[in-house]
Chains A and B, each alone.
Chain A
Amino acid sequence: EVQLLESGGNLVQPGGSLRLSCAVSGFSFSTYAMGWVRQAPGKGLEWVATINYRGDSTYYADSVKGRFTISRDNSENTLYLQMNSLRADDTAVYYCAKDSGSSGYDPGDYWGQGTLVTVSS
């Protein structure tokens, strides 16, 4: 059974940093691209970042470029999102998603339950 478990969400002050993790099981992690999608309270879905299966290609939304870094540890079956210089408009539930392919140019076919990041003073 495919499982994705996000962790690391928390309340953080504006300008602060946070690292999200997504531990996966039930599939060959190193074979698939992975991504992060967020959803602000009461709002729609916003794609944040994607990383290919080897971790040598990464893609970011303009809203997070230069502040967020997506990475993966294929030996630990874990995806990460390092978030720096956080702003109030980064407040959202962050979902980890498995891509259906390896390149990063595929839809997300499995999703975690999400972790809440709140940026507020």
Chain B
Amino acid sequence: DIVMSQSPDSLAVSLGERATINCKSSQSVFFSSNNKNNLAWYQQKPGQPPKLLIYWASTREFGVPDRFSGSGSGTDFTLTISSLQAEDVAVYYCQQYYTTPFTFGPGTKVDIK
């Protein structure tokens, strides 16, 4: 199984400042046949289901604000919130969909400082 890890476990950022979350997979999730990384990022607010933010590691889902961006390749990935807003308080999860089981990272909780 591919094990997903995330760092930090939690972070507190001032409004308008940058938040950076890291995700690491135990093996590469790069799919050479389509030249893409099978890595997604989700946002989950309290009492709500997850919401897809980013797929193929760096493609923003329709309607997601452009302050959210994803980067990385192979085994190391990053989700960046360029200017944190109050509505961004949530837990963020990465997930690999390269191979079953489609494992999630443990999550990173983002709060306002």
Contacts and interface: CB of A to CB of B under 8 A. Distances in A.
The secondary structure that dominates the A interface is: strand
B101 A113 contact: no
B95 A107 contact: yes
A111 B51 contact: yes
A44 B50 contact: no
Interface of chain B: mostly helix, strand, loop or mixed: loop
B50 A111 contact: yes
Interface residues of A, number: 22
A46 B50 CA distance: 12
A46 B104 contact: yes
Interface residues of B, number: 25
A47 B102 contact: yes
B97 A59 contact: no
B52 A47 contact: no
B110 interface: no
A45 B52 contact: no
B50 A95 contact: yes
A35 to B, nearest CB: 8
A44 B55 contact: no
A47 B50 contact: no
A108 interface: yes
A35 B44 CA distance: 18
Interface of A: 35, 37, 44-47, 50, 59-62, 95, 100, 105-109, 111-114
Interface of B: 1, 38, 40, 42, 44, 48-52, 55, 61, 91, 93, 95, 97-98, 100-107
